[in-house]
Structure 1
Amino acid sequence: MGQVQSQQTVEEKRDTEDTTQPRPPSSDTTNQDSSLDSLIEEAAAFGEEDEDLSLEEKAKRALECPCIAHLRSGPCGSQFSDAFLCFLKSTAPEKGSDCVQPFVALQNCIKANPSAFSKDILADSETKRDDEDINKEDVEIEREEKPAKQYKIRPPLWSVESKGKQKPKL
């Protein structure tokens, strides 16, 4: 699903929800099914409750969401905050495409501090990458273990000229 369709889906969901009561933010950060994407979506929705606020104010409110408080604290908190604010403030046609530098800084911080984020948040993306790496390694190991069989290729009988009748050479 493209970025535009995602935005339309989120807007349609908001239109169908009861807007008289804002939904309370999730304060349980140990939820097993919480992924980074769902936390970011919840935080972004947290900042958009008041439509009269500027983009800057909405971004600051989203950053104050308790659902991402644990991501803002820790060794990569400032990099996460910078990348998240840039994403929220992004006006590029592909949202966030103008935020490459903050996200590269966040990624470098995560690589330098593997324990910066809890494993359940990063599990989805890491699991996919690990599965792909394992599959590639398995295929390479299988190729190394099994020597290639030597096959003798024989042409079909109809393609071989008979030895009794030879064509005259010109």
Structure 2
Amino acid sequence: MQLPSLLLPLTLALGANALGRAVVVNRCPTEVTLWSVGGSVSAANTLSPNGGSYGETFVRDATTGGKSLKVTNARDGLYTGAAQLNFAYNLDGSQVWYDLSTVFGDAFAGKKITVKGKAGCGEIVWAAGTNPGGSQVKVCGSDGDVTLTLCAA
């Protein structure tokens, strides 16, 4: 029977096309709240202190093209004008473009923030928790995770 010999190539082909995820890890000593925003706004996601995380598979938003993971220190911060850290991504076939920005202030001033993908991908480091200037747009293969770490070591 040929079935086992057909399954291996099919499994390899599916694995080669697997999409990575946008991940946020909270290493800060306080909780943070995250919303995934594209053509719609997700429910609030609370990331617990010292290791809470959130992840979503890269998607192309039908309305906006990209998504933004908006993080605040306040549970209702998206709706109250609290300082936001925005980790945005745009899936473009085999690549994902990503960047980091702030709105309404610097929610993580004084705390190191990093965005890292797999080896060879562009890295974003805000050593003081604020934008150091210059372009923050990076690109990576869409088959690996890209992780924003708050209060990074």
TM-score by length of 1: 0.26
**Larger relative contact order (Cα-Cα within 8 Å, sequence gap ≥ 6):** 2
Could you say which structure has the higher strand fraction? 2
TM-score (norm 2): 0.28
